[in-house]
Structure 1
Amino acid sequence: MIHQTELRDLLPGMVPFPADVFPADQGWLGQHLLPLLKIDLGALRPELAGQAATLLCPIEPYEGCIGEATEEHHNAFTGTNWIAFELTADNRMRFLGEEGYFIGDQVQDDDALEHITEMRESYSKAHAYFQQHGRLASYSRYGDGEPGEQAYLDVLGGQISTGNWIETAEIPAAFALAFTEAADDRHAPDDAECAIITRDGRKFFAVAEVAGYNWCATGADAIVMLYEPESRTVLFSYDWS
């Protein structure tokens, strides 16, 4: 099982700040989600080479969890702190939820609007830094305004973790969550639990985790990205430690 931490060197098939991530009929997703890193899943499972999913950082929430204020737009694939996508044949990320799941610029809060602007601007600055230096640096709201170089990923592969994202909100109905001892993971303590997440009985595997603030002004302590190959489902949740 591939398991790497603090990934500071890009692997083949990894593309930071990718373009053309969303299907043409869902172009509005670019208003709500920042594409961080396209990952060829062959890096984790050779038989999946050519399937490239994109790690996404939501611009919202300003506070709380994504989706918690838009429950009327939840469905079997989306819920509070959970969003899912289908990886299309041409490696676009098709959202399996409703557009109303995101609040976006319609939020009636000056601080939230300032947060949205800050997220977009810090992402653009990080992109420009990468183009100039070939490395990732974030412009944290807690810093001095200067770029701080970061790892592209905190974790690549390994077991599905059991951070507080597992308990923050109920998993959407299309998926099931269970636990088992992580006996097959040499990186885990003997008594550690491992999360098992399935869709129609088929297991997801861990793709990557990274803090949103590795790339942007702020964000989740861990963006958790999972994949189920048969349905080509990319599932995200967010850890707020």
Structure 2
Amino acid sequence: MIHQTELRDLLPGMVPFPNDVFPADQAWLSQHLLPLLKIDLGVLRPELAGQVATMLCPIEPYEGCIGDNTEDQHNDFTGSNWIAFELTADDRMRFLGNEGYFQGDAVEDEGGRTHVAEMRDSHAKAKAYFQQHSKLASYSRYGDGEPREHAFLDTLGGPISWGNWTETAEIPPAFEISILPVMHERDRAADMEDVTVTRDGHKFFAVAEVAGYNWCAAGADAIVMLYEPVSRTVLFSFDWS
């Protein structure tokens, strides 16, 4: 099992700031989700070589969790703090929820509108920095306005580990989650998973985690990206430590 942390050198099949991430009939997703990094899943499981999924950073939320204010638009695949996609045959990320799940430009308060503009602007600046320096740097709202270089990913592969994301909000009905009791380190195998997530009995595996603010002005402390190969489902949750 591959398990890397603080990934600062891109592996084969990794493309930062990719284009053409969403299906043509869901082009509106680009108003809500910032593409960070394409990852060839063959780096984690050789039999999946050529299946390329994209790490995404939601522009929302300004406060709370994504989906908190659109409960009437939740379905079996989306909920507060959870979003899911189908990886299409041509490696596009097809959203399995409703367009109304996202608030988008309907955010009414000034702080929310400023947040949206800042997320988009910082993502564009980080892309330009990468094109010039081949390094990732974010323009965080918490910094001095200067770019600060970061790892492309905080974690690649490895076991699915417990975090606040597992309990912040109930997982959508299409999925099941189970969490092991806390164990002493000496009783744990090196590859033991704290968390099991399934769809129709098929297990997800950990793809990657990264802080949203590694790439953008703000974001979750960890964007958690999981994959289930049978249904080609890419599932995201967000840790707010």
TM range (shorter): over 0.9
SS of 1:100's equivalent in the other structure is: helix
Partner of 1:196: 196
**1:42 matched to 2:4:** no
Partner of 1:186: 190
Q: Which runs of 4+ in 1 moved over 3 A?
A: 180-185
| Structure 2, unpaired ranges of 5+ | none
CA distance in 2, matches of 1:230, 1:77: 16
Partner of 2:84: 84
Report how far residue 187 of structure 1 moved. Answer: 6.6
Partner of 2:101: 101
CA distance in 1, matches of 2:93, 2:188: 31
Report how far residue 185 of structure 1 moved. Answer: 4.6
CA distance in 1, matches of 2:88, 2:108: 34
Partner of 1:56: 56
CA distance in 1, matches of 2:213, 2:113: 18
Contact 1:85 1:235 in 2 (8 A): yes
Judged with a 3 Å threshold, the aligned counterparts in structure 2 of structure 1 residues 106 and 170 are, in CA distance, closer, same or farther, namely same
How big is each residue's C-alpha offset from its partner over 1:69-111, in whole Å with a ceiling of 9 and x where there is no partner? 0000000000000000000000000000000000001111100
Report how far residue 184 of structure 1 moved. Answer: 6.9
The Cα RMSD (Å) is 1.3
CA distance in 2, matches of 1:228, 1:184: 24
Contact 2:202 2:228 in 1 (8 A): yes
Judged with a 3 Å threshold, the aligned counterparts in structure 2 of structure 1 residues 234 and 108 are, in CA distance, closer, same or farther, namely same
CA distance in 2, matches of 1:143, 1:198: 39
How big is each residue's C-alpha offset from its partner over 1:194-232, in whole Å with a ceiling of 9 and x where there is no partner? 100000000000000000000000100000000000000
Judged with a 3 Å threshold, the aligned counterparts in structure 2 of structure 1 residues 184 and 48 are, in CA distance, closer, same or farther, namely farther
How big is each residue's C-alpha offset from its partner over 1:162-200, in whole Å with a ceiling of 9 and x where there is no partner? 100000000000000012378775277xxxx61000000
Partner of 2:237: 237
| Structure 1, unpaired ranges of 5+ | none
Aligned residue type for 1:216:
C
TM-score normalised by structure 2 residue count: 0.96
Report how far residue 161 of structure 1 moved. Answer: 1.6
The number of equivalent residue pairs is 237
Partner of 1:169: 169
Partner of 1:148: 148
CA distance in 2, matches of 1:131, 1:101: 33
SS of 2:120's equivalent in the other structure is: helix
CA distance in 2, matches of 1:58, 1:175: 21
Partner of 1:15: 15
SS of 1:168's equivalent in the other structure is: coil
Identity in percent: 75
How big is each residue's C-alpha offset from its partner over 1:9-33, in whole Å with a ceiling of 9 and x where there is no partner? 0000000000000000000000000
**1:124 matched to 2:124:** yes
CA distance in 2, matches of 1:99, 1:217: 24
Aligned residue type for 1:169:
A
CA distance in 1, matches of 2:76, 2:144: 42
SS of 1:91's equivalent in the other structure is: coil
Partner of 1:111: 111
Contact 1:139 1:147 in 2 (8 A): yes
CA distance in 1, matches of 2:53, 2:135: 21
Aligned residue type for 1:97:
G
Report how far residue 60 of structure 1 moved. Answer: 0.5
CA distance in 1, matches of 2:168, 2:161: 14
TM-score normalised by structure 1 residue count: 0.96
